[in-house]
Structure 1
């Protein structure tokens, strides 16, 4: 394990704080060069800490992603598997619709290249799988629905509602419509 120098830790913290603000303002496509300028460091310093945009976005969203992962773990023991899955998907929708740039961070790029693994998406897919398995065992979801399908759905809804006057409300409305498609009440 390498120990970072104090100045490297300060640079990391400053870059991350600026990146959070830039992503909130400009979404997942926030300029890495602008982040470096605002943080008072060079582009090489940003790339040393965050080898690519995906790594930077993973760091920006890591705390919220961890909270959603922990919530899924709590809900996995719920007696009502359908309600647990819908509760978690609602929490993910709320966050994805309100945290500008998260939907972009969750988008799978379609490659199998391990250098481009999407940590945010991977963690959310892994968090959803036990909830989905429980719901499937209870007969509460349509056959063939995967955790990746649900994450893609939430991502699409968040991207589609990003510029709506009330993105979270519209995202939840659309999620409700979709729920009736893959998990109809009996």
Structure 2
């Protein structure tokens, strides 16, 4: 949760357009930095890469833990929102492949923040909500396209999510991003009907 002003019932007030752009740039720069450098990522470098001052970063995110929590939520939301767009603009298997590649990048960033996330996201409900959000995105990508089913009927979105999580862990521990792409291809062959 960011250090925002809230209304009388505790809802976060929407940011001005320029403030929202600054926050989005900060979260994207921070996700890249944590994926690359882990928890030791420099806050000054993140602010510089986002094109804002360190003061702006600290006003929005007074601690590194709050920044990491915001990145996690932001990236999960972006992944979720990407699914319907990909499904509408690409052939089904290509849409799923693109989404899976983005998921692997999300997991790489998460690995870079793993120690801090264990503390920040100790709440089991947070994990379950994120899993449900991502499984819903996969479900949209598995849906029949133009009346034709491209995926085998027995494929379950939660199983696909768990398989992707395993792929991400293996590729990250082996430090082989290309391994993830090869394993995604194998997973897609298992998902596809016929």
Question: Is TM (by shorter chain) over 0.5?
Answer: yes
CA distance 1:175–1:79, change in 2 (3 Å): closer
Q: Which residue of 1 aligns with 2:171?
A: 161
5 Å matches for 1:84-103? 84-96=95-107, 98-101=108-111
Matched, 1:181 2:194: no
Hey, which bits of structure 1, 4+ residues long, moved more than 3 A? 1-4, 19-24, 56-60
Alignment gaps of 5+ in structure 2: 1-6, 13-22, 40-62, 115-122
Alignment gaps of 5+ in structure 1: 5-12, 27-45, 51-55, 105-113
Matched, 1:132 2:142: yes
CA distance in 1, matches of 2:89, 2:34: 38
CA distance 1:102–1:140, change in 2 (3 Å): farther
1:76, 1:134 within 8 Å by CA — same for their partners in 2? no
2:143, 2:149 within 8 Å by CA — same for their partners in 1? no
CA distance in 2, matches of 1:70, 1:165: 28
Q: How many residues align?
A: 140
1:82, 1:135 within 8 Å by CA — same for their partners in 2? no
**Secondary structure in 1 aligned to 2:150?**
coil
